Chain A
Amino acid sequence: MNKPATGSATPPPSRNIKAIVHQNLARRRAAERRFRGYGLVAITLGLAFVVLMFGNIISKGLPAFWQTYIQVPITFDSTVLDPQGARDPQALANADYATLVRAGMRQLFPHVEGRLPLRALGGLISSDAAYELQRRIQDQPELLGSTQEVWLLASAAVDTFFKGNIDRTLPEAERPIKDNQIEWLDKLKTSGKIEKQFNAVLFQSGDSREPEQAGIRGALMGSFFTLLVTFLLSFPIGVATAVYLEEFAPKNRWTDIIEVNINNLAAVPSIVFGLLGLAVFINFFGLPRSAPLVGGLVLSLMTLPVIIIAGRAALTSVPPSIREAALGMGASKLQMVGHHVLPLAMPGMLTGSIIGMARALGESAPLLMIGMVAFIVDVPKNFLDPATVLPVQIYLWSDLPERAFVERTSAAIMVLLAFMILMNGLAILLRKRFERRW
């Protein structure tokens, strides 16, 4: 196409043009290749960013799914736990389990003497170990008096050390793990008393100041309650709005305003919705701060435009012949919509809603405004308990300097991304399976 026409029929003056064209051809082709190259570079860069981000987060977060445990011989000494011998559950719950852990560690290293070395020895084990022993006794009181080999959660510093993130060659003062501790850990390692196990704590507990005890369960439940509120509010209202605007509304100024309004709301920065939530829901209506209920309200206002726009697109794709057939059979307008148009548009509406919910799941800025950013240890149990959500938990952890928290932040991001991929995958599946071309 780019080649100039060749032929003997061309008159003499065009020979001149032909020469000019030929002269420029190499330059033009080079320009063409360059332009194409720019395009390719741009798209490669874009895709490289995707790979880089995922690679970066997965490589940082993957180790967090395993946690270091130390096997310690624990003697459930009745004289310590139950001096009265009454086996009173209350007394057993309040007993001094930390002593047992210390005794167990001393049994492993009988030669350690002195207050500071003993404290360093105890520091290898997480402070959660005492609670772990307490749980065991509560589950099986018959353990009392026996000696068991128990796998106890190691402290975050030990865990970081075994994941290779603490340099042994550093001067001792700059290391969170000291020389004597390294010596003990190496001994434990060679005797097979150190093991990496699946990090169940991450999924079972709420937030904590100690990295090895911090988990995302609280944030996951908070996200669940918040999204439940969001879905229960935004889906019915969104579908109803889409149906009204598409099937019933007269074309007039009022509906025009609603339409423009919805399009603009879809582009309002999310943080402004947070301001709305703070001023209206919390200050004016007096709803509690940090509650999933308020978070859900704010997010549903944000998700509403997405659902409405997707819903209207789904409704317009249903051909008019369906409507005419229903009306022709004597259905009322609402029956026509309810029995025929809506079921046909439902897959498209659900797809749009799931994508909207996935966006709401990843949203954090407006939730910062309404106080869902507090340090909350307890797992929320209902819509009014103070809670945080997964992205906000990521934000909170990302501020903490410990290496173990960086790892956990990345792991939380992986969980969040997994949920988002799952939701988007579901949306694609719905679309593929139920989409009808008319």
Chain B
Amino acid sequence: MQFFLLLALILLSAVAYYLGRKRALTVAGGQIRNLHSLPSFYGSYTALWCGLPALAVLALWAALQPDILTNLVVADLPTELRDLPPDQLNLVVNNLKNLVSGHFVSSTTDPAMQAAAERYQNLRLIGNAALWVVALSIAMGGIAYAWRRIAPTLRARNSVESVVTIFLIASSTVAIFTTIGIILSVVFESLLFFRQVPVSEFLFGLQWSPQTALRADQIGSSGAFGAVPLFGGTLLISGIAMLVAVPIGLMSALYLSEYATPKFRAFAKPALEILAGIPTVVYGFFAALTVAPLIREIGTALGLHVASESALAAGLVMGIMIIPFVSSLSDDVINAVPQSMRDGSYALGATKSETITRVLLPAALPGIVGSILLAVSRAIGETMIVVMAAGLSANLTANPLEAVTTVTVQIVTLLTGDQEFDSPKTLAAFALGLVLFVVTLILNIIALRVVRKYREQYE
């Protein structure tokens, strides 16, 4: 319905463009040089006057319609329904909405509800019809207004350009609003959580079993929200990942930039970066179905007890995923070291490997540390691999053969499935999200600063 109205408005705007342009040419007497702006600007001017106000009305109606209609209908409900406490009234309204959209909630429908639903539908129909009339007449009015204003002296270009500039500025603030949105949503829900569970218990508690009681006297009713086992699990898996990724990534970068022939480099560098393009869910599948059973088999052959969802499997595969991340970042860093430093070292008789370990690496160290920090933040925030390959039960251990769980796994398990939104169980996910956001943010800021400082040093 509203989609067709949108389409109609776009078509009308296109018509407005041609009308405006023609009008401009007419008032100029066919001589473009008499006009302040090019004719197309007069066209755009008219189109904007046609489209923008009507769009604003459309957006406003789309945002407010449900509330207005609900209020109108509720005001008309029988008094005994209207005087219900707010939460029960909400229930009634929900039933009403289900009735309107044709989902039958209960077989026994109250005649009053039926009537209200009918009224709601009527109002909606009227509202939509009115919207068509209002939006189209505003659009027509806009065209007429612009048509009358078009004159050779009208500064159409300036008006159109200021609208475009406003659009550009507004777009650039989306990123800011995203950050604000993230912070607000995570912090707000976390505050609700910390009202029920103290911060100190969350940050330093050793027990994690996010159950909430249905009845007060239930066994194991008290949920424990100590997140230390999750932090431990996250660190263990990320640590294993870094143990895989840093040596392989760094050595590959060194080999590619210092030893490899240009031909080999041209083949190997993109081939290695394929690893970065593979979706993480594929890594998760690989970890859960290929690597984890393999590790278990090897472990059993060696007489070790290996959990089927061992931290080792998830960490190993996550390490593979991060290899190209480390290698391409350190590659940039190594290439930024001036050639003169290498030449100086060679001139003193050092071999290539001596130059690398004694000159290149110390010179590139800050940059490499920065790239490793970025990789760590990537590992901590990685979700799919651990969701598919790591365990669910919180387990505070440093043994890589046991199953551990991570912050991201818990966020996913707490938030998938149907839960009411104000239980500590759901809110805990947001608190974990806050920790995740803050930690990765700090890591990123430090890393970016280190890398930038390092770049400046050699520029």
- The digit string for A132-154, where 1 denotes a CB below 8 A from any CB of B, is 00000000000000000000000
Kindly state whether residue A123 has any CB partner on chain B within 8 Å: no
Q: Give the residues from 309 to 330 in chain A that come closer than 8 angstroms, CB to CB, to chain B.
A: none
Among residues of A, the one whose C-beta sits closest to the C-beta of B281 is A391
B255 touches A39 (CB 8 A): yes
Tell me if A's interface is mostly helix, strand, loop or mixed.
helix
Assuming the contacts A268-B440, A278-B415, A373-B416, asked whether A32 and B351 have C-beta atoms less than 8 A apart, the reply is: yes
- The distance in angstroms between the C-alpha atoms of A409 and B285, with both chains bound, is 9
A42 touches B251 (CB 8 A): yes
Kindly state whether residue A43 has any CB partner on chain B within 8 Å: yes
Kindly state whether residue B123 has any CB partner on chain A within 8 Å: no
Kindly state whether residue A63 has any CB partner on chain B within 8 Å: no
- The distance in angstroms between the C-alpha atoms of A267 and B286, with both chains bound, is 25
A362 touches B280 (CB 8 A): yes
A269 touches B383 (CB 8 A): yes
Among residues of A, the one whose C-beta sits closest to the C-beta of B445 is A264
What count of chain A residues pass the 8 Å CB interface test?
Answer: 87
- From residue B63, how far is it (CB to closest CB) to chain A in Å? 9
B383 touches A275 (CB 8 A): no
What count of chain B residues pass the 8 Å CB interface test?
Answer: 90
Q: Give the residues from 161 to 186 in chain B that come closer than 8 angstroms, CB to CB, to chain A.
A: 161, 164-165, 167-169, 171-176, 178-179, 181-182, 185-186
List residues of chain B with CB within 8 A of the CB of A359.
Answer: 277
- From residue B295, how far is it (CB to closest CB) to chain A in Å? 14
B255 touches A416 (CB 8 A): no
Most buried by A among B178, B272, B275, B280: B178
Leading 8 A-B pairs by shortest Cβ distance? A269-B381, A39-B255, A362-B279, A279-B185, A42-B251, A35-B353, A240-B171, A365-B383
Which positions in B face A, CB cutoff 8 Å?
Answer: 157, 161, 164-165, 167-169, 171-176, 178-179, 181-182, 185-186, 188-189, 247-252, 254-256, 258-260, 268, 271-272, 274-275, 277-286, 288-290, 320, 323-324, 327, 346, 349-354, 356-357, 374, 377-378, 380-384, 387-388, 408, 411-412, 415-416, 421, 429-430, 433, 436-437, 440-441, 444-445, 448
A-B contact pairs, 8 of them (CB 8 A): A28-B354, A32-B354, A36-B255, A39-B252, A265-B179, A268-B440, A365-B280, A368-B383
Beyond A53-B278, A334-B165: 8 further Cβ-contacts under 8 Å? A46-B249, A46-B324, A271-B412, A272-B436, A274-B415, A364-B279, A365-B384, A424-B277
Which positions in A face B, CB cutoff 8 Å?
Answer: 1-2, 4, 21, 28-29, 31-32, 34-36, 38-43, 45-47, 49-50, 53, 56-57, 236-238, 240-241, 243-245, 248-249, 257-258, 261-265, 267-276, 278-280, 283-284, 301, 304-305, 308, 332, 334, 358-359, 361-365, 368-369, 371, 373, 391-392, 394-395, 398, 406, 409-410, 413, 416-417, 420, 424
